[in-house]
């Protein structure tokens, strides 16, 4: 893969939005059980919502391409 293609993939993900969603899941876990959950549970919660959020953004960009061009 060339550099411009990788840069395009990174811009497509928009990492700040899925990352923020993952942080919100971790904060929700901390508030719900009032202590630190195991690292594996925190990581799974973060990664699951990170991937779901990133996928939703990519699908939105794909299906709304004509609308987003305006």
Q: How far, in Å, CA of 43 to CA of 25, rounded?
A: 10
Q: Where is pLDDT greater, at 66 or 21?
A: 21
Over the stretch 3-47, which tens digit does the pLDDT of each residue have? 888 888 778 778 899 999 999 999 999 999 988 889 999 999 999
Q: How far, in Å, CA of 47 to CA of 40, rounded?
A: 10
Q: Is the pLDDT of residue 70 over 70?
A: no
Q: What are phi and psi of 37, to 5 degrees?
A: -75, 165
**Which pTM does this prediction carry?**
0.78
């Amino acid at each position: 893969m060339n550099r411009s293609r990788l840069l395009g993939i990174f811009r497509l993900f928009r990492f700040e939005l899925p990352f923020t969603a993952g942080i919100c899941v971790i904060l929700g876990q901390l508030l719900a059980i009032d202590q630190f959950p195991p690292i594996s549970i925190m990581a799974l919660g973060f990664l699951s919502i990170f991937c779901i959020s990133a996928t939703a953004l990519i699908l939105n960009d794909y299906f709304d391409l004509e609308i987003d061009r305006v």
